[in-house]
Amino acid sequence: MKFHQPGAEIFIPDGLAVELAFSRTTHIAISAHQDDIEIMAAGPIIECFQQDDRWFTGVVVSDGRGSPRDDLYKNYSDEEMRTVRFKEQKKAAIVGEYAAQVLLDYPSKAIKDGSNRETIEDLVTVLKAARPKYVYTHNLADKHDTHVGVALKVIAALRSLPKDVQPKAVYGCEVWRNLDWMIDADKIAFDLSAHESLQAALLGVFDSQIAGGKRYDLATMGRRKANATYFESHGVDTTQGLSFAMDLTPLIADPNKEIRPFVQEHIDRFAKEVTERLMRLT
Ligand SMILES: [Zn+2]
């Protein structure tokens, strides 16, 4: 498998030949940074864990060179940070028993560049090899440019695939901004009640970011709990953890569907719900 960046890597935790490792993939998550997958796509990781007929593959597009650093890592060069972050992502792939982990090694600049085609071509290469049924990426209302940049590249890559290779569903998941604001009918909810300690372990391997001053591990597990408890205002909690996603499948099913109005419609439905409640109660 050939990628554009000379530093791109493929890591197969169980050492299977690359083609076989990819072809067993059923679920794939494509993220901007090392650790985003474990924050946003715990649902499919758990769904595939220890299953013979379901396999999870991770793809990280950025190189990690610009990562914030502090504590033990304070004086690390960009190159050393890249090495640390690649190593952490591979540790997560081992802990989560991924089918494969791809690290595409792009600077954030390339991801945020709407005219960059190389990122899209690399994603097409991965998607053709993996032929996943389900694709997970960032949601289009995320507040990090690089995250939204990746989501747009993923949509472009999926739209360019022949129909018979396209996935059944594509989900935009939570990292920098949760999706609690969406109306319930728009929410895709992943039940994260199972394997809580495995979820914590997957988040915990990213020491360079946590020691860098951000408790993503605690915040992410807390968000899952909060999502579960605040999802239903009546009745007891039916799950111990939830994460939400925006269904991006309509953008792939109809390649001519415009992206901005599609996101705006989600915001409009939220605005309508808030306004209607106020009208009813005043
Ligand atoms: Zn990120």
pLDDT at 246: 98
Ligand 1 centre to CA of 149 (Å) is: 11
Ligand 1 centre to CA of 55 (Å) is: 23
The model's pLDDT over 107-142, given as tens digits with 9 standing for 90+, comes to 999 999 999 999 999 999 999 999 999 999 999 999
- Please, where are the H alpha helices in the chain? 18-23, 36-40, 42-48, 78-95, 108-112, 118-130, 145-160, 196-204, 207-210, 216-231, 249-253, 259-281
pLDDT at 238: 83
Ligand 1 centre to CA of 31 (Å) is: 7
Look up residue 81 and give its two tokens: 């940070």
The model's pLDDT over 200-236, given as tens digits with 9 standing for 90+, comes to 999 999 999 998 789 999 999 999 999 999 998 777 7
Please provide the average confidence, as pLDDT, over all residues in the chain.
96
Strands 134-138 and 27-31: parallel
The residue whose two tokens read 């009745």 is 235
Ligand 1 centre to CA of 57 (Å) is: 17
pLDDT at 237: 75
Ligand 1 centre to CA of 279 (Å) is: 39
Residues 13/96/107/246 CA torsion (nearest 10 deg): 140
pLDDT at 215: 95
Rounded distance, CA 83 to CA 63, Å?
Answer: 9
Ligand 1 centre to CA of 148 (Å) is: 10
Ligand 1 centre to CA of 17 (Å) is: 29
Task: Specify the pTM.
Answer: 0.97
The model's pLDDT over 67-112, given as tens digits with 9 standing for 90+, comes to 888 889 999 999 999 999 999 999 999 999 999 999 999 999 999 9
